[in-house]
Every structure is written in C-alpha cells, then in structure tokens.
Amino acid sequence: MKKNILIVPGDGIGQEVTAVGKKVLDKIAEKYGHEFTYDEALIGHAAIEATGNPLPDESLEKMKQSDAVLFGAVGHPKYDNDPSAKVRPEQGLLKMRKELGLYANLRPIKLFDELLGASSIKPEILKGADILFFRELTGDIYFGEKGRKDNGDTAFDIAQYSRFEVERIARKAFEAAMTRGKKLCSVDKANVIETSRLWREVVQQVAKEYPEVTVEHQFVDATAMLLIKDPKRFDVVVTANLFGDILTDEASQIAGSMGMLASASIGDGTGVYEPIHGSAHDITGKGVANPMASVLSAALLLDISFGLKQESEDVINAVDQVLKAGFRTGDIADSSTPKDKILGTDAIGEEIL
Ligand code: NAI
Ligand code: MG
C-alpha cells in the first residue's frame, strides 16, 4: 500500500513522542511491504515563531493533501502565563479541526492489564474497563462567539450546536456501538443547558435508527462521578466538545496515565491522529515523556485511515509486550518497578520497535 503521511509534531513533548510514532509507522511499512512517504508541517508555537501564524496556509494545504496526519501537541508556557496573548498555539489546533471538518474525536480508554497497579483507582474496579469516547470536536463553547464587555469586567463564551452537528456525531457513535456491546451512553446537562436539550432530543431521534442499541442519557456531573466509581458500566460514550475534553482527561486515569491515551479525529477529510495529552512543559526536553499515546495513535491511523487492521493490532501488541516485559516510563511506573526498567522516551521506543 502506498500512502503519504504528514508528521505534525507541534510543540514541547509533541516533538519527542511523535518521532517515536513515526518510527513505528516506518517499521510497519518495512515489515509489511508498504510504501509510506512522509512530509512535515508546522503548527502551534513552533509555527508562530517561524511565520507569526499558528496554522500557516502551507501546513493546512499539506494536511488536506495527505492521506493521514500524525500530530503531537501544541502549547508553550509563554501563553499559559499571558491569557491576553492574541495569537496563541491552540488557535492552530482549533483551526486544523475546523478546516479539516474533524467533527468526531474517538478516544479509546483501554487499560493494559500490566498497568492495573499504575492507576490510583483500585484494580478490582478497573479490571476489564474498556470505553470508547466520541467527543464532538468542531462545535460547542470552543467555537462560539467570545469576548468581553463592561470595559473588560464581564466575559462571555457562546455555546452553540446545530441539529446537523449533533446528528452526525451521534450517528458515528451508534455505528461504533453496533460493532461493540450495543450500549451507548449520551452525556449532556439537559436539565439546565439549552444546547444539551437539543443534544438529547437529537440523540433520541437517531436512536430510533438503531433499535438494537441500548441508550442511556446521563448528566455530565453524574458521569464524572460514575467514571471513577464504576468505569466498567460504560461502553460507547458520546458527548459534546467541552464535556468530552474534561471527561477524557479524567478517564485517562483508568488507563493509568495521559501518556497512554491515543485519539483519532475524523470527519469529512484527512484523519488526524494524536495523543490526548498536551505539550507538557513540565517534562519537555527531559527525554522522559511516554511515547505510547503517540504509538497507539499511529495504530489508530493504520486501522481507521488505511484499513490495516493486522498492522494496527501488531503495534498494540508491541506496546503490550513491552509492558509485559516490565518496561515503563516514569508516568506508568509504580513502587514495585525496578529502576533499570524505567526507560526514557527513545529507549522505550526502541523496545516497542
Ligand atoms: P498536559 O497534557 O501537557 O500535561 C498534563 C500532565 O500530564 C503533566 O504533568 C504532564 O507532565 C503529564 N503528561 C502528559 N503527557 C505525558 C506523557 N506523554 N508522558 C508522561 N507524562 C505526561 O497538560 P497541561 O500541563 O495542562 O498543558 C500543557 C500545555 O499543553 C498547555 O500549553 C496547554 O495549552 C497545552 N495543551 C495542548 C493540547 C493539545 O495540543 N491537544 C491538549 C491539552 C493541553
Ligand atoms: Mg484536553
């Protein structure tokens, strides 16, 4: 198979982990006789430094032209401490999602058995947890009008969803539910938020097309509690952009670490595959970032964008083998991990290869 993959490392540990993800794709190409060619593009702080624009047209064009994008993360401490900065790395990320029509963000939350002890949640609560989140990615409060009034003393962000936007993400989630446990939980806050009321109404409507799927509607606050109390009760979960952002960071603790969680952003055009974590300034440049989220994102890329199921499983198995052999990065090590088994980003990448 001949494919053209765009590598977009972005900022901070995005650079470090995406390099490992790319090597894994390379290894798969070599092993299975595929021809993957690569190009690179700038986004985020790196792009602002080079061009003044967090998503230069050239990068966007390359994304549109490629068969799939392996993305890292964006962010720089400079902006975190200066909320008034007008040009910001996240603008590049949001624009990429909008321009590529990436309305569905899939976040599989799967715990590798070897990491049962790495989570702060009790193993008996976790064992067997396997959730697939569908986070809506191009609407909600992130993309609505925002601003200040009253001389800057009042701020507002408008949350907005159209029927069409809810329908298409709901449909993706129902389709996935049909291939899994035929169980779907739709998360909203329909008791108080109007966009949530539309959300619930539309999900109920789409549900009629999938009579085999058992649907549950849940308020986001209760979901936050139940995710930790009883993660096994969830199978496919569909929710709005903001709720999904927060709930999946929370759910990362089911998988042991943010460094383990991959995601696929899909929609109208090129798919983008990325860890759910950010640029992690606190560990940038130390060579300790866990690259598994990027490697598992590469596995999603092979499966979803290229339909290469076996290759994808091969990558997931490689991660599993490395964990079984006892190797850990710092974020997933526990008190029982021998010091010589704690590896840096590149070294654990070599084990996976
Ligand atoms: P973060 O996800 O970068 O880090 C949160 C915590 O998890 C940190 O303690 C970090 O060290 C740890 N962590 C994250 N990924 C890890 C990995 N692969 N291995 C080991 N440990 C890992 O979120 P934070 O610190 O809130 O934000 C840092 C920057 O990232 C900010 O500028 C933020 O705007 C940006 N960000 C970007 C995102 C993206 O590009 N998709 C998503 C979230 C945040
Ligand atoms: Mg987030």
pLDDT of residue 36: 98
Residue 116 counted as domain residue: no
Residues 131 and 253 in one domain: yes
| pLDDT recorded at residue 52 | 96
Which pLDDT score is estimated for 77?
93
Question: Which residues of the chain, if any, have pLDDT below 70?
Answer: none
120 located within any domain: no
Indicate whether 113 belongs to any domain: no
- Between the CA of 276 and the centroid of ligand 2 the distance, in Å, is 6
- At 67 the pLDDT is 98
Q: Within this chain, do residues 131 and 241 fall inside the same structural domain, yes or no? A: yes
Q: What are phi and psi of 9, to 5 degrees?
A: -70, -35
Ligand 1 atom nearest the C-alpha of 17 is 18
Last residue of a domain, one of 257, 287, 320: 257
Ligand at shortest distance from the CA of 261: 1
Residue 208 lies in a domain: yes
Identity of the residue numbered 104? A
**Residue 119 resides in a domain:** no
* Residue closest to 43 by CA, chosen among 84, 100, 103, 95: 95
Q: How far apart are CA 262 and CA 276, in angstroms?
A: 6
Is the minimum distance from the CB of 136 to ligand 1 under 6 angstroms?
Answer: no
**CA 171 – CA 12 distance, rounded (Å):** 35
CA atoms within 13 A on the CB side of 25: 31
Q: What is the DSSP letter of 145?
A: -
At residue 127's C-alpha, the angle toward residues 122 and 129, to 5°, is 110
Structure-token match 């990325």, residue found:
274
Residue 83 has a pLDDT of 81
Q: State whether 29 and 90 are in the same domain.
A: yes
67-83 pLDDT, tens digit each = 999 999 999 999 988 88
pTM here? 0.93
Is 17 a domain residue? yes
Domain identity same for 11 and 54: yes
Tell me, yes or no, whether 65 and 161 share the same domain: no
Q: What is the ipTM of this complex?
A: 0.97
CA 131 to chain centre: 13
Which residue's alpha carbon is nearest to atom 1 within ligand 1? 278
Which atom of ligand 1 is closest in space to residue 75's alpha carbon? 32
pLDDT of res. 277: 94
Say whether both 289 and 239 belong to one domain: no
The reply to whether 153 and 241 lie within a common domain is yes
Does residue 275 share a domain with residue 187? no
Picking from 257, 276, 311, the residue at the C-terminal end of a domain is 257
Note whether 295 and 211 are same-domain residues. Answer: no
Q: Is residue 132 part of a domain?
A: yes
93 lines ligand 1 (CB under 6 A): yes
61: domain CATH number is: 3.40.718.10
Find the ligand nearest to 328 CA. Answer: 1
**Residue 112 counted as domain residue:** no
Boundaries of domain holding 136: 126-257
Q: What pLDDT, on a 0 to 100 scale, did the predictor assign at position 312?
A: 98
pLDDT reported for residue 29: 98
Looking at the structure of the chain, the number of domains it has is 2
Q: Is the same domain home to 196 and 225?
A: yes
The answer on 248 and 133 residing in a single domain is yes
pLDDT for residue 118: 78
Q: Pick from 230, 257, 284: which residue ends a domain?
A: 257
d(CA 335, CA 317): 25
Q: In angstroms, what is the span from residue 202 Cα to ligand 1's centroid?
A: 33
Q: Burial, 19: exposed, middle or buried (Cβ in 10 Å; 0-12, 13-18, 19+)?
A: middle
CA pair distance 104, 168, nearest whole angstrom: 9
If asked whether residues 66 and 152 sit together in one domain, one would say no
CA of 296 to the centre of ligand 2 (A): 17
Q: Which residues are identified as catalytic?
A: 142, 189, 221, 245, 249
